[in-house]
Structure 1
Amino acid sequence: MILPGNSQRKGAIKRKGKSNAAGSGGRVRRGLEGKGPTPKAEDRPYHKAYKAKQERQRQDDGRPRRTGGPRAAGPEWIIGRNPVLEALQAELPIHAGYVAEGSERDDRLRDIFKITADRGISLLQTSRGDLDRMTSGAVHQGVALQLPSYDYKHPDDLLDLAGAKPLFVALDKVTDPRNLGAIVRSAAAFGANGVLIPERRSAGMTAAAWKTSAGAAARIPIARATNLTRTLQSYAKAGLFIVGLDGDGDTDIAELPQATDPLVLVVGSEGEGLSRLVRESCDVIASIPIRSSVESLNAGVATSVALYEVARHRN
């Protein structure tokens, strides 16, 4: 007979004394403990201040930038299926290719596999987590390419590689890589012996520049100058005539008397033009006559026109 109070069924009565209820295991206490000072914004990897800091460091040490997603230090990356496919179709130089395990196949990925197979480019299979780390958490869609670092020449190397009457193109604060690529392409087309760019405040040979150059970057040397003004002055001492290209120049580029001499054509940015010190280093400032309804030409177009006129005299 079971009477109230003497049931053996577990939980039938409330026992007095120490409880066996599960505790928090210290989670609550640990959650209340301090975690130390909050890191600075520029030290938090996913904060825009961190990415801006990384970008400044890349510009300071001349490292190439990454396209197709968030930027990270180190070699330049092309990230995402469309950018990767376009880079392969443009026959950009590839250092390494990566594809994440289990990536869903579509027409773009199948085309990527076909092109890499035809060109003998190995696509290394890696985990999605490893690819995330390599590309600093960018949206890579399971595929990424790493470009080789561009082999920039020393400014003195341009003189050594050129002939008796060299023609060089120097860029002053041209920061758009597509303009740089277009200028490299024009320089190769019109017989220039090299292109000179400053290390700072200038576009470098990124994926966009390679693509716009249409392969010309592999056929013409590109040098980087620590100080563009000093390099131009050293070129002048070596016997080269320094011609600045600017809208308010007093000489028509089509009538340049020194076009057949050893020459450096210096081109500034569309907005700011030539900087003061670079301008003062030029022997003459030439211009391209254009209608008053058009304020200016971008650096790529202006360089092409000027090189055509110089080549016309030389030929």
Structure 2
Amino acid sequence: MRNPGQFVLYFLLALLSTCMSFSDAGNAIRASNIQRLIRVDPSGKGDFTKIQDAIDAVPSNNSELVFILIEPGMYREKLVIPANKPFVTLSGRSASSTIITGDDGGDIFRSPTVSVLASDFVGRYLTIQVRMDKHIARRCWKAYYNNCYIEGDVDFIFGNAASLFQKCHVHSVSRGGGFITAQHRASPSENTGFVFLGCTITGLTNTFLGRPWGPYSRVVFSLSYMSSAVLPQGWDDWGDPSKQRTAYYGQCECYGPGADTSRRVPWSHVLTSEEVSPLLTTDMVNQQSWFRNAPSIFV
């Protein structure tokens, strides 16, 4: 992909998980309301001053819920949550005061500010800022974003996850001809795609809703407001007309000046509520198997 410009994600109660495989023991862990507490405070009053140091303190092959509380501050770090450290929550106190920012460049899969490789990860009340060609949250096979603010330029929501964006504000900062999504579904057998439910779509100037990174790219917008920044055609085939036959792009009961379907590309879909209803629940991301609320008891 081309450089996707900047990407800023404000986690307001956002959840994302790779959701790989689970056991009965794992289900019991997720149901628990008791979590180990680790505090990160740049002033030195916590357990650690850096977030990555707190992550590193989580045991390998972790089997308990770990709540890493991040006190307000600007954290200039490149974070990695390894695959052998599941059940971790990163939580600030407010998205506006807890900021993680990075400025690493290079390959899109090697330069994220935050790389989540473990299952059962939860992010809460954080701002994650990415500039130029940086990205966030790789290998998120199942992801749920609730009440987030997501901002970027070109292809700033991308990958091959099954992702539900609910009540999110997605804002394009492209100066013209930007793309919001680049979903990478490679075959019809993959149960992946992006669903935007009850979202707000805005932009500085003109932007496309998406283009197919993978031939079977799948993106649906439902019950969402679209400003005039959304181009009338809505979607682009990325210079490959063959993808028009396999990509699945649609919208249902969207509104606003950018939601008019009369000038959409002919290979996109106008969906009925019956057609889109299976996608409009957290079932698509298996949310009930890994979702957990904030703990009430810390150890």
TM-score, L = length of structure 1: 0.26
Larger radius of gyration: 1
Q: Relative contact order: is structure 1 or structure 2 higher (C-alpha 8 Å, sep ≥ 6)?
A: 2
**Higher normalized strand content (fraction of residues):** 2
**TM-score when scaled to structure 2?**
0.27
